Amino acid sequence: MKHLFFAVTILLVSANTFAQKFAPEQIIGVWKSEDYKIEFFKDGDSYAAKLLWSKDMFEADGKTSKKDDNNPDESLRDRPRQGITHITGLVYDDGEYLNGKLYSVQDGNTYGFKAELNEVDKLETRGYKGVPMLGKTVHWTRVP
């Protein structure tokens, strides 16, 4: 039993040692998921993203952007959803992007947000209220 425990420990440490870490700037660019398209950019010492497209972004004509009508700030409710910077404050720390905030145009709430590059063109994000365990994971693919 001791040998099995030792072997598993060595395997886990080795796998973690060889896990690929990417440069912080690798997150910059356009990403798409099933329901969204966003663009990450550098914002001072952190990273942010603007909303380029979502399934429910446009009015029935397919061209006119819906308004940010659920925004808790009444002065912002008339702005178009398209182009809103809705992810802010992501800080790179040892292979992960942490401490971000996600503003949801669907409900006007702000959620915690974190991300991790699994591959150069594969991004995993998690939006959550309170703790990450109580959130939703979204997988993204880089748009060339």
What average pLDDT does this structure show over 6-16? 44
How confident is residue 13, by pLDDT bands cut at 50, 70 and 90? very low
Distance of CA 41 to the CA centre of its chain: 12
For 67-120, what is each residue's pLDDT tens digit? 999 999 999 999 999 999 999 999 999 999 999 999 999 999 999 999 999 999
Any domain includes 1: no
Pairing of strands 122-128, 110-119: antiparallel
Q: What is the CATH number of the domain that holds 105?
A: 2.40.128.520
Can you give the residue range of the structural domain that contains 68? Answer: 22-142
Any domain includes 55: yes
Mean pLDDT lowest among 3-7, 30-34, 69-73, 85-89: 3-7
How far is the C-alpha of 73 from the C-alpha of 76, rounded, in Å? 6
Predicted TM-score of the model (pTM): 0.83
Q: Number of structural domains, the chain?
A: 1
More confident residue, 132 or 100: 100
93-101 long-range Cβ contacts below 8 angstroms, 24+ apart = 94/21, 95/19, 95/21, 95/22, 97/27, 97/47, 100/46, 100/47
How far is the C-alpha of 26 from the C-alpha of 76, rounded, in Å? 31
